[in-house]
Amino acid sequence: MGGKNEQAKKRRVVVVGGSIAGLCCAHGLLRSSEWLEVVVFERARSVSSAGAGLGLDSRACDALRDWGLGDALEASSLPLFMEENRVVDSNREDHAVVKDDTFNHRAAHWSDLHHLIHDALPSGIVRFGHEVHSFEELQGADGEPRVRVRVSKGDDAIEEIEADFMVAADGSMSQTREKFVPNEKRRYSGYCAWRGVLEASNESVQEVASTIKSVFPDVGHCLYFEIARNTHAVLYELQKERLNWLWYINQPEPQLQGKSVTVKADEKALKDLHEQAQRTWPPALAKLMESTTNPFINAIFDREPLPQFVWGRVVLVGEAAHPTTPHGLRSTNMSIVDAFVLGNSISKWGCNDIEAALDEYQGERVPITTREVLFSRHLGQLKQGLLSSGTDWLQADQQHKEQLLERNMHSFNPPATN
């Protein structure tokens, strides 16, 4: 095993994708060793202001703190101490069914998180407006394996760069993954999510916000799930008086433009949403949905878990490695933990045994993320009434109700796959 003191020569790693997973890998790798030069190529022109809320678990928060981002994290997120699942009956009345007081997450806006991770990196590491076109593995002049990466900057010029290894953080439609796992299809979940963030500091919506706070008294530190027949919604608060909500609706797979899973809602879709909300949810929640400007629709997909994340000197991380549905609050957490584990493995094995480091990362992350993807899929199907045993949650016994909780992920036994 190579120790840090044995390292002399600088090694280079190219990261493809500068979203959460790619930027966290830059932190994890820079923290792990002084012998690594890290370059991140991101095809977007800048850090995005898109997105909505997400929940960070304690392991992801610890990783962010380890990279020196603790203060920024505290300042831009709220604690989520509790999870509460409620059932809405046919009269639109709410009944608390099961609670977890040991939830221990934090709530953040995706864009705030992306900014804080980006802003803490040394300048020059992230190259926005750079798209990776292709890569190939080859042997360097010294006989060592290398990856040659071709990058375009929006003009016709192609830059070539050689790296000792490449980290593919290029998202759920990863071209890198496609090269190693061709003809693999994503799985449509059977439903789409409407998502919105109400800016509760606006005077015009203060009554809506205060009604929400009286009906959901723990909002601000609780993750609420509202479950109605064959559908469910989510509510929690973000920093700066923002109320974040989601509503999952079973429907045929929508026609999507390009690779994005986000659909902009037109007037008719919005009108239908508001009418359907009034028929389904308690008035306070329906009013919150109606009062939110520019909600958007995400079609929900995942993919079958892969048995490997590493091919030679190329390693998949984040959504490229394990695209998942959002129900276990997994995607961002998995990306952060991938980066943390990869950094630690590189630190442990040193530059003389990159294969061993990548192998260790894969060995640790494949089984855990497989369980997380399949648990998240299961929980979504359970709450959307898509499992063969559709459940009447109000009549169910306590043991049954406990199945709704996020904490079951750790003991979840995935069904056998072929």
Ligand X SMILES: Cc1cc2nc3c(=O)[nH]c(=O)nc-3n(C[C@H](O)[C@H](O)[C@H](O)COP(=O)(O)OP(=O)(O)OC[C@H]3O[C@@H](n4cnc5c(N)ncnc54)[C@H](O)[C@@H]3O)c2cc1C
Name which position in 15, 80, 132, 374 contacts ligand X (CB under 6 A): 132
Name which position in 13, 14, 21, 249 contacts ligand X (CB under 6 A): 21
Q: Could you tell me which of 303, 295, 233 has the C-alpha nearest to residue 263?
A: 295
Side-chain-facing half-sphere of 205: CA atoms under 13 Å: 20
Name which position in 13, 14, 15, 16 contacts ligand X (CB under 6 A): 16
User: Segment near ligand X (CB under 6 A), from 14-22, 245-253, 373-381, 407-415?
Assistant: 14-22
**Least distance between ligand X and beta carbon 330 (Å):** 9
Strands 262-264 and 126-128, sheet pairing: unpaired
Backbone angles phi, psi at 53, to 5 degrees: -85, 160
Q: Which is nearer to ligand X, 69 or 320 (CB)?
A: 320
By CB under 6 A, residue 19 contacts ligand X: yes
**Least distance between ligand X and beta carbon 118 (Å):** 11
Are 216 and 233 contacting, i.e. CB atoms less than 8 angstroms apart? Answer: no
Binding mask 153-192 for ligand X (x = CB under 6 A): ----------------xxxx--x-----------------
Beta strands in 158-313 (DSSP E): 158-163, 165-168, 187-199, 222-228, 231-238, 242-250, 262-264, 296-302, 310-311
Helix, strand, or coil (residue 58): helix
**Least distance between ligand X and beta carbon 233 (Å):** 15
Per CB under 6 A, which of residues 22..61 are in contact with ligand X? 22, 41-44, 48, 50-52, 54
Q: Which is nearer to ligand X, 169 or 219 (CB)?
A: 169
**Least distance between ligand X and beta carbon 55 (Å):** 8
Distance CA 328, CA 330 (A): 5
DSSP secondary structure letter of residue 19: S
Distances (CA, A) of 195 to 52, 221, 248: 7, 19, 9
By CB under 6 A, residue 237 contacts ligand X: no
Which residue number places its CB atom closest to ligand X? 318
Distance CA 227, CA 380 (A): 11
Strands 296-302 and 11-16, sheet pairing: unpaired
By CB under 6 A, residue 131 contacts ligand X: yes
User: Segment near ligand X (CB under 6 A), from 185-193, 264-272, 312-320, 373-381?
Assistant: 312-320
Q: Which is nearer to ligand X, 113 or 200 (CB)?
A: 113
DSSP 111-169: HHHHHHHHHTSPTTSEEET-EEEEEEEEE-TTS-EEEEEEEE-SSS-EEEEEESEEEE-
By CB under 6 A, residue 331 contacts ligand X: yes
Q: Which is nearer to ligand X, 335 or 362 (CB)?
A: 335
Residues that bind ligand X (CB under 6 A): 16-22, 41-44, 48, 50-52, 54, 110, 131-132, 169-172, 175, 318-320, 326, 331-332, 335
